[in-house]
Amino acid sequence: QVQLVESGGGLVQAGGSLRLSCAASGIIFSSAGMAWYRQCPGEQRDLVATITSPGTTTYADSVKGRFTISRDNAKNTVYLQMNSLIPEDTAVYYCTTFWGRQYWGQGTQVTVSS
């Protein structure tokens, strides 16, 4: 079965950095496009960044220049490097992929204090 397991969230001060990881299993990872979303309480889940199987990336305007999505196919892992964090980045961050259907991880909380 497909599993996505996020890690790396936590509490950080504004201006700080965090790196999120998402370990995937049950898919041919090197062939899968991956993405990160985030969700604040009571709000919709918003796209943060995507990476295709060849490695092409896209970003939401709100994180361009601060966040970097990358992948390590040898480790079946996708990363989200988050720099210059601001309080508005506080959310639960989810890893996702489409492999026959959409799969989501359990999410990891990121809290940025001012």
Q: pLDDT of 78-103, one tens digit each? A: 999 999 999 999 999 999 999 999 99
Query: How many other C-beta atoms are found inside a 10 Å radius of the C-beta of residue 91?
Result: 22
Instruction: Supply the mean pLDDT for the chain.
Output: 97
Query: How many other C-beta atoms are found inside a 10 Å radius of the C-beta of residue 18?
Result: 20
| Strand pairing category for 10-13 and 108-113 | parallel
Q: What is the pLDDT of residue 80?
A: 98
Q: What is the pLDDT of residue 52?
A: 97
Q: What is the pLDDT of residue 41?
A: 86
| Residues in the chain with pLDDT values less than 50 | none
Query: How many other C-beta atoms are found inside a 10 Å radius of the C-beta of residue 37?
Result: 21
Q: Which of 96, 84, 78, 90 is nearest to 39 (CA)?
A: 90
